[in-house]
């Protein structure tokens, strides 16, 4: 229920006041996609220790039948993905658990995965397993010796096509 009725404006299309449908000033889908694509709730780091427990599960807990079922289950779900690069990245992650697991997934999916995650970057996390310390989502960090952007996981000025700054708002951009 509208309480304010937008002032004296009619709540219907009127022939007295000509209809003025204007295109939006920005592409909302592009802006929203940019925002959610860079949204990070926290940053963690991928380390070799992250693979110790899954490696123990694969090597010490699973018997051969469990390994076959696991590969069949995972590769079946990977088959639903139509982006080969995503499958290559997942195989690289599983290869960090066990080279045998990576090879089995390659055989089951028919996709040759990356040799490991050393050269990959990930959304929302720092890759601590690489020599050059890849940062996540253009996150600035003096720890890594470079500033790759300052958008606090949100849209940056200039990504929406603005040409003027709003008066009275101080910006650190």
Using alpha carbons, select from 69, 78, 70 the residue that is nearest to residue 54.
Answer: 70
- Residues 81, 85: Cα–Cα separation, whole Å: 10
Domain ranges of the chain: 44-144
Beta-bridge partner residues of 149: none
Per-residue model confidence (pLDDT) at position 18: 72
Q: Specify whether the CB–CB gap between 129 and 105 falls below 8 A.
A: no
Structural tokens at position 66: 């469990």
Q: Specify whether the CB–CB gap between 138 and 150 falls below 8 A.
A: no
**Greatest C-alpha distance within the chain:** 79
Q: What is the DSSP string of the chain?
A: --SSTTTT--SS--SSSPP-----SS-HHHHHHHHHHH--S--EEE-GGGGHHHHHIIIII--HHHHHHHHHHHHHHHTT---HHHHHHHHHHHHHH-HHHHHHHHHHHT----S-STT--BTTEEETTSTT-BPSTT--BGGGTB-----TTSPPTTSS---SPPTT-----
Per-residue model confidence (pLDDT) at position 36: 64
Fold of 44-144: Hemocyanin, N-terminal domain (1.20.1370)
Per-residue model confidence (pLDDT) at position 116: 87
Using alpha carbons, select from 51, 116, 111, 126 the residue that is nearest to residue 81.
Answer: 111
Per-residue model confidence (pLDDT) at position 128: 64
Rounded average pLDDT per 10-residue block, the chain, 173 residues:
64 73 76 63 72 95 97 94 91 95 96 87 64 53 46 48 47 44
Per-residue model confidence (pLDDT) at position 125: 58
Three-point CA angle 129, 131, 137, nearest 5°: 70
């Amino acid at each position: 229920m509208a309480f304010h009725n937008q002032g004296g404006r009619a709540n219907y299309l009127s022939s007295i006041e000509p209809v003025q449908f204007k295109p939006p000033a920005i592409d909302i889908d592009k802006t929203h996609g940019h925002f959610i694509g860079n949204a990070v709730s926290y940053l963690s780091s991928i380390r070799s220790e992250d693979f110790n427990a899954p490696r123990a599960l694969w090597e010490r807990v699973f018997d051969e039948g469990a390994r076959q079922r696991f590969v069949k289950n995972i590769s079946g779900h990977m088959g639903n993905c139509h982006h080969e690069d995503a499958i290559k990245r997942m195989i690289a992650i599983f290869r960090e658990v066990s080279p045998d697991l990576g090879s089995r997934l390659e055989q089951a999916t028919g996709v040759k995965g990356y040799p490991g995650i050393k050269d990959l970057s990930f959304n929302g996390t720092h890759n601590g397993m690489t020599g050059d310390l890849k940062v996540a989502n253009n996150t600035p960090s003096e720890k890594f010796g470079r500033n790759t952007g300052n958008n606090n996981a949100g849209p940056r000025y200039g990504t929406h096509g603005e040409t003027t700054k709003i008066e009275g708002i101080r910006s650190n951009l």
